[in-house]
Chain A
């Protein structure tokens, strides 16, 4: 549920945000009900996304701490990328790449929330020039970082890792799958 809320709100934020980012993509806002509506709903969708990211943070922050195994995994990341998985050290519930993604999305999401709130209330903050400039640039940079994470995340989940889509939809994986991809997980939670 949390992941679904984050996914739906993020995709809406991405599409409307891209419409505001570039005139060449403004048609996205037109398709989604017009620029005015997109502008009106974007901040609310942002609150939904921020809330779901905070829920994930509460649930997973323990699992997302870096562990000694992560160092070995990071060193072998080239093998993982080349699908040479036999040479990748075993991972726990979340491998190092997933942990990095989580922190990119969490920190990026919080930066987007903070800067987005300033941009939402720009009319009341018009005398705080430096704050407006900083928020605008921060929103752009944080959005681009999360878009990078989003591309990798969706590509991995849908196209690279077998069973990824099923895990997203059902919220569970088979034991066999877990043993292959996250062998240390079983050991963590006997």
Chain B
């Protein structure tokens, strides 16, 4: 257990972490969620977040979206299945803790976003400059800007609890064990066992949502309709955005080369050709040269 750093935003030097740790993972089984929102309350309580004014939008959902001080939202997607039966497809909207975090890749502030050796992606608000590049970088639209502090916030996976071997507050509070916590290996095992159960009981398309486009995530979700993650409001194939990869990859090297090349060209021109000659030196109005 530790919070050693495996990756640090905007850092040219290697991250300091040397410990080899198992990736910690939260399993969300949407099929056993009863929408009680104990996880939402536990999150606010443990993280000492101020109460957020709820918004009545005709559903049981607490808010339309997560906010800078509300990091864990159960989304109540309404779905009518082929037989015409109404179902709530509940989903836990929070940071997915990607293995390849688009937010961290996009971040320009050294040390504002880190990834621990246990896989948790954490924001360090004291280093955050509030540019919002992480918002552009995140394919799940998770980071939320706080107008009062000018910085960005999201779920920490209770990294303070994980550091001392405790499970996240939301998992602790879940009454149906729809939330579980352990190593990625353990959680994938539990998720796959649950998927088999679901498939045997009529949900042939049940699947684990662990999107490979972002290197897999440390929050994995069992979906009864695994073939249609968008029913739950999840992107089908999330990626670190191509624009962000281009910007932080080839475009950066091209730009650096162009800027250095431009300066070098000016220096070479000066050495080779120098100043332009003038028939007579320019004279100012007052007659001084």
Contact: A176 with B283, CB < 8 Å? yes
**When the two chains form the complex, which single residue of B141, B242, B276, B282 contacts A173, counting CB atoms closer than 8 Å?**
B282
Task: With CB as the reference atom, state the residue of chain B lying closest to A86.
Answer: B277
CA distance A174 to B103 in the complex (A): 55
Contact stretch, chosen from A1-9, A21-29, A99-107: A21-29
Contact: A40 with B276, CB < 8 Å? no
Chain A contacts of B274 at CB under 8 A?
83, 160
Task: With CB as the reference atom, state the residue of chain A lying closest to B147.
Answer: A123
Contact: A26 with B110, CB < 8 Å? yes
**When the two chains form the complex, which single residue of B242, B247, B276, B280 contacts A140, counting CB atoms closer than 8 Å?**
B247
Contact: B273 with A82, CB < 8 Å? yes
Residue interface mask B256-289, A partner, CB < 8 A = 1: 1011001100100110011111111111110000
CA distance A148 to B259 in the complex (A): 7
> Smallest Cβ distance from B146 to chain A, in angstroms?
9
CB contact under 8 A between A176 and B282, given known A21-B255, A82-B273, A147-B262? yes
Task: With CB as the reference atom, state the residue of chain B lying closest to A143.
Answer: B255
> Smallest Cβ distance from A174 to chain B, in angstroms?
5
Task: With CB as the reference atom, state the residue of chain A lying closest to B270.
Answer: A159
> Smallest Cβ distance from B214 to chain A, in angstroms?
15
Residue interface mask A146-162, B partner, CB < 8 A = 1: 01100110010001111
Chain A contacts of B10 at CB under 8 A?
23, 26
Contact: B244 with A83, CB < 8 Å? no
Chain B contacts of A151 at CB under 8 A?
259, 262-263, 266
Contact: B109 with A35, CB < 8 Å? yes
Q: Is B243 an interface residue (CB 8 A)?
A: yes
CA distance A38 to B282 in the complex (A): 40
> Smallest Cβ distance from A55 to chain B, in angstroms?
26
Contact: A83 with B273, CB < 8 Å? yes
CB contact under 8 A between A137 and B243, given known A21-B255, A39-B129, A126-B141? yes
Contact: A162 with B130, CB < 8 Å? no
Chain A contacts of B110 at CB under 8 A?
23, 26
B 139-175 contacts with A by CB, 8 A: 141, 144-145, 147, 150
Chain B contacts of A123 at CB under 8 A?
132, 135, 144-145, 147
Q: Is A177 an interface residue (CB 8 A)?
A: yes
Chain A contacts of B283 at CB under 8 A?
174, 176
> Smallest Cβ distance from A83 to chain B, in angstroms?
5
Q: Is A129 an interface residue (CB 8 A)?
A: yes
CB contact under 8 A between A133 and B243, given known A144-B259, A148-B262? yes
> Smallest Cβ distance from A154 to chain B, in angstroms?
9
Residue interface mask B51-71, A partner, CB < 8 A = 1: 000000000000000000000
CA distance A140 to B256 in the complex (A): 11
Contact: A162 with B284, CB < 8 Å? no
Q: Is B246 an interface residue (CB 8 A)?
A: yes
Task: With CB as the reference atom, state the residue of chain B lying closest to A119.
Answer: B132
Chain B contacts of A174 at CB under 8 A?
282-285
> Smallest Cβ distance from B134 to chain A, in angstroms?
9
Q: Is A127 an interface residue (CB 8 A)?
A: yes
CB contact under 8 A between A22 and B252, given known A136-B247, A147-B259, A147-B262? yes
CB contact under 8 A between A85 and B277, given known A22-B256, A40-B150, A166-B284? yes
Contact: B282 with A122, CB < 8 Å? no
CA distance A3 to B212 in the complex (A): 51
A 104-120 contacts with B by CB, 8 A: 119
Instruction: State the 9 A-B residue pairs at the shortest beta-carbon distance, nearest first.
Output: A133-B243, A123-B145, A163-B282, A122-B132, A35-B129, A23-B10, A155-B266, A39-B129, A151-B262
B contact set with A: CB distance below 8 Å:
10-12, 108-110, 127-133, 135-136, 141, 144-145, 147, 150, 241-244, 246-247, 251-252, 255-256, 258-259, 262-263, 266, 269-270, 273-285
21 A-B pairs (CB sep. < 8 Å): A19-B108, A22-B252, A22-B256, A34-B129, A36-B129, A39-B131, A83-B273, A83-B274, A119-B136, A122-B136, A133-B243, A133-B244, A147-B262, A151-B263, A155-B266, A160-B270, A160-B276, A163-B282, A166-B282, A176-B279, A180-B278
